[in-house]
A and B are shown apart, each in its own frame.
Chain A
Amino acid sequence: MTQRILEPGEIQGGAVADAPSIRLPELNSLFSDRAARLRQIAPGHALADYLLFVAAIGDAQQSALNNMQTIPLPVPMMLEQSRAHGMPPLNAIDHARDPAWRTVLRTLLGDLEKKIEGIARDHVRRLAGEPDALYEAQADRVLSAVTAGLDFGYAPLVAAGLQVYWVHQVAALGLPALIPLDVPTVCPACGTRPVASVARSGGAAGGHRYLHCALCATEWNMVRIKCSDCESTTGIHYFGIDGGANAVKAETCDACSGYLKIFYMEKDAQVEPTADDLASTALDLLMADAGKMRSGPNLMLFAADGE
C-alpha cells in the first residue's frame, strides 16, 4: 500500500481534505463498469458462465438507466420527515414504488433476452410474461430479505430492475438530500444492507472505508476495523484465501460471528463491489464452513439454504 508522506509546509496548508461521508454512484457508468469488471474476471474463473450472465444483466441495466424518464420523488413533506427522524428517504421496505419500475424491468428483460441463451433465456422469457402482481410480490421479498416464496431464478432479474429504479431515484434526489443516519450500518438513501466494504484509494477518500449499498450503490463512510453489522471494534479479523488475491478479505467479528467482505482499491484499482463479491464466492463458502454469517446481500446471487 502506498503511504502518503507530507512535505514541510503541507500540514499548515491543510493538505489533507475531509473525506466525503456519502458518495453517490456514477450514473453514467455504474452498471457498465460492473459488466466490464465481470468480463475482465471471467476468463478461467470457476463461475465464468454465471459472471458473464450477470455482465449481460449489467449492460441491460445501464441501457435501461440511460433511457429512464423522470419519475416523481417523494413529496417534500415526506423527505423532511425522513430527515427529521434520521430515516432513509427512499427506504426500500416501505417506499411506495412507482409502477414505472416494472416498465423498466420489462424493457430490461426484453433487452437481456437477445443477448443470452439456454435455460437463463427461458427464465428471462418466462418472467417477461408474468403479471405485474408477481413482480410486486417478488420485489417485496427481495427488498425485505424474505426467502419464503422467493423464486431464486427470478430474484436476480427482479433485483436488476429494482437496482436501476433505485439508482435513478437516488441520483434524482441528489447528495444534499442525504445525511448520515443514526444507524450507520444501513444505506443512508434506501436503508438496505451493504454488499461489501471498499477501502478506497486516492483523493480525499483515500484509505477510507465505504460501505457499498447492495441496492442503490450509494456508499457511506464507516471507520476501518469496525464490524459493519454490530459496530464492535474488538475481535475484528481479516480472512483471505491463502495465496489468493490480496485485494479481497472477509472482515469478521468475534462479537456477532458475522462477516462482510472488504475490497482494497490500493491492491486492485478496478474493484467493483457487486462484481468482485460474486467473483469471490469461494471465500463465502469457506467463511460459511468456518461458521461465520454473512451480514449483507448480493442481489445478483441468492443462495440461502433455508435452514
Chain B
Amino acid sequence: MNRRQFFRTCAAGLGGSSIAMLGFSPQPVLAQVRGFKLARTTETRSTCPYCSVSCGVIMYTLGDNAKNNKPSIIHVEGDPDHPVNRGTLCPKGAGLLDMIHSPNRLKYPEVREAKSKEWRRISWDEAYTRIAKHMKEDRDKNFITKNDKGVTVNRWNTTAMLASSAASNESGYLTVKSARGMGMTAFDTQARI
C-alpha cells in the first residue's frame, strides 16, 4: 500500500469506503457515472504576437485529436503567472481569439508579382526560393568587402531584417548568427521598438 493508493477513489473502493461504513449508499453515484464521459481541455502557455511587450497568454483548447474531434481554441486570457503582464491584456490582446479564428487570417505564403493586382498562393518551397534569390541578387550587387581606407569590412547594408518579439534567447542567438554571417548590419527585434 503506497500513498497514492491511499488517495484513490475508484468504483471497487467505494463499497468499503467511509460512505458505506457510515451507512450511506454509494450506489447512486456508481450508477450515475456509467452515463458520463470525459471531455479534455488543454491549457497552453504562449506569447501575444502583437507588440513588443510580449504579454504571456494562456490558450484553452477543447478536444483531444480523436476521430471527429478536431481540437479548437475556445478561449485566450492573460497568464496570471507571467511576470510582464500578470494576467492582464490590452484591448487588442484581449481579442486574440477572434484573430485566431478570423476568416481573413493569412495561413500560407502569397505573392503579388510586380505590376499585378492579384495575390497568388505559392508553396513554402517557392516562397523560400524567391526570398533567397532576391537576397542573393541584392547581396551580390551591393556587398562591400573593403571600406574607403582599404580595411576589410564585409558589409551588406542594403537589406534589413526584423525579428519577432516573441523569439526566445535561443532563436535570438540563431538570428544573430545567420544575419551577421551574411554581413547584414541592419537588423533588430520588434521587442526593441
Contact = CB atoms under 8 A, between A and B. Distances in A.
Interface of A: 1, 3-6, 15-16, 19, 46-47, 49-50, 53, 118-120, 122-123, 145-148, 151-153, 155-156, 193, 206-208, 223-225, 236-244, 249, 258, 281-282, 284-290, 293-297, 300-307
Contacts of A249: 41
20 contacts: A4-B87, A16-B87, A50-B22, A50-B24, A119-B23, A120-B24, A123-B23, A151-B21, A208-B81, A225-B44, A237-B40, A241-B39, A243-B39, A258-B4, A285-B10, A293-B8, A297-B6, A302-B18, A303-B16, A303-B19
A219 to B, nearest CB: 15
A56 B69 CA distance: 44
B38 A288 contact: no
A285 B29 CA distance: 9
B18 A304 contact: no
Given A153-B18, A240-B38, A16 B88 contact: yes
A294 B77 contact: no
A282 B80 contact: no
A5 B90 contact: yes
Contacts of B9: 281, 284-285, 288, 294, 301, 303
Nearest to B10: A288
Contacts of B136: none
Contacts, number: 190
A307 B9 CA distance: 12
A270 B42 CA distance: 24
A152 B19 CA distance: 9
A147 B33 contact: no
A282 B17 contact: no
A301 B8 CA distance: 10
Contact of A123 (B13, B21, B26): B21
Q: 7 tightest A-B contacts by CB?
A: A119-B23, A207-B80, A153-B21, A303-B17, A288-B10, A305-B13, A284-B9
B126 to A, nearest CB: 35
Given A16-B87, A288-B9, A297-B7, A118 B23 contact: yes
Contact of B19 (A3, A47, A148, A223): A47
Q: Which of B7, B14, B41, B45 counts the most chain A CB atoms within 10 A?
A: B7
Contact of A145 (B7, B33, B81, B91): B7
A44 to B, nearest CB: 11
B37 A305 contact: no
Nearest to B92: A5
Contact of A4 (B1, B21, B78): B78
Contacts of A307: 5
A1 to B, nearest CB: 6
Contacts of B10: 284-285, 288-289, 303, 305
Nearest to A282: B33
A236 B43 contact: yes
B75 interface: yes
B21 A288 contact: no
Contacts of A244: 36
Interface-centre pick from B1, B33, B45, B91 (highest chain A CB count, 10 A):
B33
Which of A145, A290, A304 has most B Cβ within 10 Å?
A: A304
Contact of B29 (A122, A236, A243, A282): A282
B79 A282 contact: no
Contacts of B30: 285
Given A152-B21, A305-B16, A47 B28 contact: yes
Contacts of B37: 241-242, 286
Given A4-B87, A16-B87, A240-B38, A282 B32 contact: yes
Contacts of A49: 24-25
B60 to A, nearest CB: 8
Contacts of B41: 237-240, 249
B144 interface: no
Contacts of B28: 46-47
Nearest to A49: B24
Given A1-B75, A146-B6, A207-B78, A285 B33 contact: yes
Given A47-B28, A238-B41, A242-B39, A303 B18 contact: yes
A132 B39 CA distance: 47
